[in-house]
Amino acid sequence: MGRALIRPIVIMGAMYAFLKFVLPNIPGSAEIPASLIILYLLLTLSGIIIFETLSAESKDAFWGPMQRFLTGENIGGLQPLRYGILVLFPVLVGWQTYNATAPSDSPPAENRVIHPAPPGEYTGLANPVPKTPENIMQGKGFYAAFCSPCHGANFDGKGPAARGYNPPPANFADPTTIAMLQESYLFWRIKKGGVGLPIEGMPWKSAMPRWELELPDEWIWKIIMGEYDGAHQTPRTWE
């Protein structure tokens, strides 16, 4: 195979290695999606083809070996490889076509947003109930009565009523739940419940009651205090 062919192969390989292994490790960068890598490689290939076909000599040097390989003239020991590629190409095209056209057997994918954005009126509300030991204790009492059947006596989302619910009740001990949220967010979620979620939260699946129909606001604020204290978490604040 001529040098004119080795150079593009080396350039394509180096470009792939750069995009896949070097670029993501540059500070401030990130992993590049496969689709973007393919796009960059196609651009590189286009550049190589334009460059290699600028003159008649370079064009012959570039396409010549490929033509000889495909027609099988004077390629000696590469003949089995040629037959292999000629068989493999239609098989790959058939396989890709099958994958693209075969009907899916899987249930629809569900991309549920666990913490969707709250309505504007529920952002930045401060808890109006003083954080006294009595109020926290009272909040824990309300929590035990109303919330613990699902969210668990240990605030871990593993209450006795939790097992059948999908999505599962939130685990407050997990640092990615209430520790990432403001008290006003919890106030919204407790007050409006599952049916108050926006569409990206898939409200039709949530078993969370709409507690505003049953509990006064003051109890809800106390429950929030009890939850944070019991789960050993602190609310997120905007300093």
Partner 1 sequence: MNPEMLTKWLIRWGGTAAMIAVLTAGAGDGVAQESVAVRAALVTGTLPLDDPNAAAWNNAAPAVFPMSPQVHWPERIQQVTVQDLTVRALHDGTQIAVLLEYADPTEDPDDAAAIEFMVGDKKAHFAHGQPMLLVEGGPVNIWYWKSKDNKGVDLWAKGFGTLRPHEHQDVKAKGEYANGKWRVVFSRSLATDHPDEDAQITPGQFINIAFAVWDGRKDDAGQVIEKGSQKAVSSWWYFRAEPPPDYSGYVYAGVAAVLALGFQFVLIRKLKEGQSA
Residue ranges in contact with partner 1 by CB under 8 A: 67, 70-71, 73, 86, 89-91, 93-98, 101-103, 107-108, 149-150, 160-167, 192, 194-199, 202-205, 207-210, 214
- Asked if residue 159 lies in contact with residue 153, where contact means CB atoms within 8 angstroms, the answer is yes
Nearer to partner 1 (CB atom), residue 47 or residue 94: 94
Nearest by Cα to 207 from 142, 149, 153: 149
Judge whether 186 and 227 are in contact, CB under 8 Å. Answer: yes
Nearer to partner 1, 152 or 235 (CB): 152
**Least distance in Å: CB of 81 to partner 1?**
15
- As measured in angstroms, the least distance from the Cβ of 57 to partner 1 is 17
CB of 120 to partner 1, least distance (A): 13
Give the nearest distance from C-beta 229 to partner 1 in angstroms: 23
Residues 6+ apart with CB under 8 A from 171: 151, 152, 155, 156, 157, 158, 177
Burial of 119 (0-12, 13-18, 19+ CB in 10 A): exposed
Please, what is the minimum distance in Å from the beta carbon of residue 187 to partner 1?
Answer: 15
Residue number, 51 or 89, with CB nearest to partner 1 = 89
Of the two residues 97 and 132, which places its CB atom closer to partner 1 in the complex? 97
Q: Which is nearer to partner 1, 107 or 128 (CB)?
A: 107
Q: What is the rounded distance in angstroms from the CA atom of residue 165 to the CA atom of residue 149?
A: 12
Measured from the CB of residue 80, what is the shortest distance to partner 1 in angstroms?
16
Would you say 126 or 199 has its CB closer to partner 1?
A: 199
Q: What are the start-end ranges of the H helices in 18-117?
A: 34-52, 56-71, 79-101
Tokens (6 digits) for 115: 């913490």
Please, which residue, 18 or 89, has the CB nearer to partner 1?
89
Q: Which two tokens stand for residue 144?
A: 């035990």
Task: From 230, 234, 190, 229, select the one nearest 211 (Cα to Cα).
Answer: 190
**Least separation in angstroms between CB 79 and partner 1:** 14
Residue type at 22 in one-letter notation: V
